[in-house]
Amino acid sequence: MVLSKRFPGEKKVSITDAGDDQTACQILEQALDDLEFRIAKRTAQLEAANQDLKNEIKEKLKARDDLLRKEKHLKAVQAIAAVGSFFAFPPDFEMDCSDGFFRLFGYEPAQVPVDFSFMKDHMHSRDLDRFEKDINLFKKYFAPFDREYRIVTPKGTIREIRVIVTTLYNPNKNPQEIRGIIQDITESKAMERQVIRNEKLASLGFMASGVAHEINNPNSLISFNIPILREYLGGLFSISDQYALENKGLELCGMPYEEFKKDVVKLINNIENGSARINKIVSNFRSFVHIKRNVEYQKSDIKALIRGCIDISDAKMKKLVRHFEVRIPDDLPKVYTEPEVLEIAVINLLINAAQACDKPDSHVCLSVEYRNFPKPRLIIQVSDNGCGMDKETISRAFDPFFSTKSSDQGTGIGLSLCHNLVSSLGGNIDVESTPGKGATFKIILPDLRNES
């Protein structure tokens, strides 16, 4: 028996007799072991490569999940904080905007094409020139800027925004990318104005106490002495009447005696009326700057309260308004509130509406409504068809001493007083108005009734 075996790189091996069977088996076993070793080694290499591939895939999946999580977080932050962002690329300044950017301007994401002219088209007229100057200057020098503007949404709502723009440069120091953030600061600016308003009121309250004291002292002296002076004049008139009977045609101060006597009485009455008016003005001034801190809530008959407000303002209504309409439901429930404070607020709104009427067919409507959903609340609405207000006037309507009326019609504290009184009751006032078509003021009060 002859066996032969050739391995790569080896010489031919021959086995010529059965005695060499053992040697042949050893050679075959060695070859088999060598093959298994190489297979095991290659398998280990493939397993290692496979594990590396699995680790790489796992890391990429983790990176993708982290990116999605950060994107979701960023969108949530932009929605909560009312923030939008954009990127622009010179020289064409094509913009890539976030979803929050579109929503700030009143659109759905990617609803309209956006560039700097889009922002310009939505700028409030009072800020348009300033925005154009800022953008042109930025395009020329690429200097970062931080500005506040007002925009007008498609629904006509005015929002206040803060725009922060920076520039990213390439290694050659050329502008490569423009990055911008836009934040809706409408609410924060409103709160800021409210803080300033409260500070003004606090200062005014301090001043009012001193002014009221200084005015009341001499006015009290006048009002105290008027009855005495009237009594003294009565004694003098009894003497002068007798003298006038004895001297026909008596004249005093260039007037017939009877006319002179009537004029003196009229002057005393005028002084008394003037003193009473001063006292009323000081009292109203104190009411304006002094808001109750410990409000005494009670179940109040709103229908009776409104009727009382109408009675007080009736004279003004009859003088300035041709049609005065009142809508009060018969089933209006009692509301847990402070009636005295609410009464002052409603009267101020009625008088303000009457003074705003400037048409022959002037009309004022007072309506009351009670709603249970979503929470119990009382709504008192005063509407007029008067001169109305533009957006700028509405934004300042509740500022102390701001008034569009002449000085003889108002001092600008009525609406501010009304706002503060309603706020002290935990409510708020909404206003809607169109120039030339009138205004609607709506008091919204929570019903804080005691369920126990």
CA distance 371 to 307: 20
Report the pLDDT value the prediction gives residue 72, as an integer from 0 to 100: 66
The amino acid occupying position 369 is E
* pLDDT tens for each residue of 114-146: 877 888 889 988 899 999 998 888 888 888 889
Report the pLDDT value the prediction gives residue 30, as an integer from 0 to 100: 86
* pLDDT tens for each residue of 352-378: 888 888 888 899 999 999 988 778 889
Q: Cα 274 to chain center, whole Å? A: 42
Report the pLDDT value the prediction gives residue 74, as an integer from 0 to 100: 59
Report the pLDDT value the prediction gives residue 411, as an integer from 0 to 100: 54
CA distance 288 to 424: 12
Query: Which residues make beta-bridge pairs with 164?
Result: 146, 181
Average pLDDT, the chain: 81
CA distance 204 to 401: 11
pTM: 0.44
Q: Which of 55-69, 212-226, 231-245, 332-346 shows the lowest mean pLDDT across its residues?
A: 55-69
CA distance 316 to 319: 5
More confident residue, 292 or 442: 442
Confidence of residue 2 (pLDDT cuts 50, 70, 90): very low
Q: Which fold has domain 82-184?
A: Beta-Lactamase (3.30.450)
Domain boundaries, the chain: 3-63, 82-184, 190-289, 298-446
* Highest mean pLDDT pick, 55-64, 95-104, 143-152, 340-349: 143-152
Torsion, CA 395, CA 362, CA 347, CA 215, rounded to 10? 80
Report the pLDDT value the prediction gives residue 450, as an integer from 0 to 100: 43
Report the pLDDT value the prediction gives residue 290, as an integer from 0 to 100: 55
CA-nearest of 190, 261, 199 to 230 is 261
* pLDDT tens for each residue of 289-332: 555 545 567 888 899 899 888 888 887 888 888 899 999 998 88
- Alpha-carbon Rg for the chain, nearest whole angstrom, is 44
CA-nearest of 354, 365, 355, 363 to 322 is 363
**Arithmetic mean of pLDDT, 149-158:** 88
Question: Pairing mode, if any, of strands 363-371 and 377-384?
Answer: antiparallel
**Arithmetic mean of pLDDT, 412-429:** 79
Instruction: Write the burial class of residue 73 (CB in 10 Å: 0-12 exposed, 13-18 middle, 19+ buried).
Output: exposed
pLDDT at residue 8 tops 70 = no
pLDDT at residue 7 tops 50 = no
Confidence of residue 45 (pLDDT cuts 50, 70, 90): confident
Interhelix angle 302-320/339-356, rounded to 10 degrees, is 20
**Arithmetic mean of pLDDT, 219-234:** 89
* pLDDT tens for each residue of 172-184: 888 888 888 898 8
- Which superfamily does 298-446 belong to? Histidine kinase-like ATPase, C-terminal domain (3.30.565.10)
CA-nearest of 72, 71, 103 to 183 is 103
Confidence of residue 15 (pLDDT cuts 50, 70, 90): very low
More confident residue, 223 or 399: 223
